[in-house]
Amino acid sequence: MPLVKNPILPGFNPDPSVLRVGQDYYIATSTFEWYPGIQIHHSTDLANWTLLTRPLNRKSQLDMRGDPDSCGVWAPCLSHDGDKFWLVYTDVKRKDGSFKDAHNYIVWADKIDGEWSDPVYVNSSGFDPSLFHDPDSGKKYFVNMLWDHRRRPLLFAGIAVQEWDAKTKKLVGERMNVYQGTELALAEAPHVYKRNGWYYLLIAEGGTGYEHACTLARSKDIWGPYETHPEKHVLTSKDHPRAALQRAGHGDIVETQDGRTYLVHLTGRPTTQLRRCVLGRETAIQECYWKDDWLYVKNGPVPSLWVDLLGERDESKYWEEKRYTFKDGLHKDFQWLRTPETERIFNVKDGKLTLIGREAIGSWFEQALVARRQEHFSYDAETVIDFSPTDERQFAGLTAYYCRYNFFYLTVTAHSDGQRELLIMSSEASWPIGNLNTPYVPYVQIPNEGKVKLALTIRGNQLQFYYAVLGSGGEELKKIGPVFDASIVSDECGGHQQHGSFTGAFVGVAASDLNGLAAEAKFDYLLYKPVKNQQDAYVRDNE
């Protein structure tokens, strides 16, 4: 069987939780401020994955209006107890500064792609929760990291375990801090397993940047004491800056039907000498083995770029051109930001996507922006827009977007006298102010009526916008604006403190009406065309 190249879920797919039920494998990943919440992918061979569902899809389950960038849904844990599927997750309302307002919930479903329950609140003592179903006692245990704003002595204070009663839907008994991690610190992302009479506790340490790691400990009792793995970190790239897969950590373990063990984990693939992860934190997988009742990563602890899985990956799907029309609704590849009330920001009818202009791009409350993940280092994108703005406070167009503090946006707008024009807005690593870069790129006047084709190309770290006024006879795309630094749209430039941005680059369409008149912009389609370049073809595996 040919080896499969990591990552298995390219683009923004972080904090993987993996589960096998029979012959089916599932991975749940964080979605942060993007709606609907939590992505669940499905596979039968660990190599080929398909987006199956996003279970947090209604207002009674999730409303993230007001959640800052990189807050929202963190670190889901997907499990099955032989009867139901369970998901636990955190909805983070504040993350910067000394405090974390992080609320933990549980939902469940009979079918993974069916309707999930409304959430049951559990606690707010920390984040990255998981739910462990003890196969021997039948009890369920809620596990999460603890946050201590006093830093007495640790900000990431340790891993808490407490029994959770599935009948009353409440925590019961004493909460115990069972493990504080190693000197690498920042213990988070706990998962508990039971094997050969041992309880295993897998955690992440080192933060989600270039010091990230998976640390393993074990105990004969779920309450501890836990002894740390002889090598401490079963997976990390922190001491190997030239390894192809960086930022390796936050993992979860799954066993195949034939007894093989794999570890899924987040990773990043930095580009340029500035080490910027434009594709965000992605999901990779490693083959493992057991020795003396300890788990080891094959050829580890440094993650391998190429792995032996249960099947051969069909690369053609990764490289296929996607032309999204809107005849059958909104394609599952698309998400929007924060709000469950989609009728206020978009609708799909008559084969068009109509965006309803609301607040400015980058708003944490209600902005009309519909986009898909960037999954390739180079790609082309284009759309056709029909929009008749009346002044400069109405604008809509095509955007390469990360968050409020870094995006590039080619807009159709108007001057104060009503003359329609094209204008590029950019916010380039503008944290904490969030200003647009000025002076603005020179505008281009266009006729006040008619559709406009907008396009962009990204080749590695170079972004170029294009336009064509349709129906004018000159429909060939023309360049507009300079070549921008596309690596800005990355974790490292997302704003906040270092390693404080957790999502990834998107490309999509947006509309704003700062007059409050809800002006509508109609889009015929969105094209996303992957382009192979040196970065995509580059193969190395420095162990």
- Span 429-462, pLDDT tens digits: 888 888 898 777 779 999 999 999 999 999 999 9
Give the Cα separation of 105 and 496 in Å (integer). Answer: 26
Question: Is 15 an active-site residue?
Answer: yes
Tell me the pTM. 0.96
**Quick one: pLDDT at residue 535?**
58
**What is the per-residue pLDDT for 8?**
98
Instruction: Check whether the bond before 153 is cis (ω within 30° of 0).
Output: yes
The residue annotated as part of the active site, out of 188, 282, 375, 491, is 188
197 bridge partner residues: none
The verdict on whether 188 is a catalytic residue reads yes
Give the span between the Cα atoms of 456 and 422, in whole angstroms. 14
Looking at residue 176, its pLDDT comes to 98
From CA 290, how far away is CA 297, in angstroms rounded? Answer: 9
pLDDT at position 542: 38
Distance of CA 102 to CAs 76, 78, 80, 106, 524, Å?
13, 19, 24, 14, 39
Q: What is the pLDDT of residue 536?
A: 58
Q: What is the pLDDT of residue 539?
A: 36
Buried b (16+ CB within 10 A) or exposed e, 212-249: bbbbbbbbeebebebeebeebbbbbbbebeebbbbbbb
d(CA 333, CA 326): 12
Quote the pLDDT of residue 115.
98
For residues 238 and 228, the answer to whether their CB atoms sit within 8 Å is no
Residue 493 confidence (pLDDT) = 86
Location of structure tokens 């959640």: 67
**Tell me, what's the pLDDT at 538?**
39
Mark the ranges of the chain whose per-residue pLDDT is less than 50.
Answer: 537-543
Helix or strand (DSSP H, E) at 382:
strand 378-386
Residue with tokens 């596990």: 143
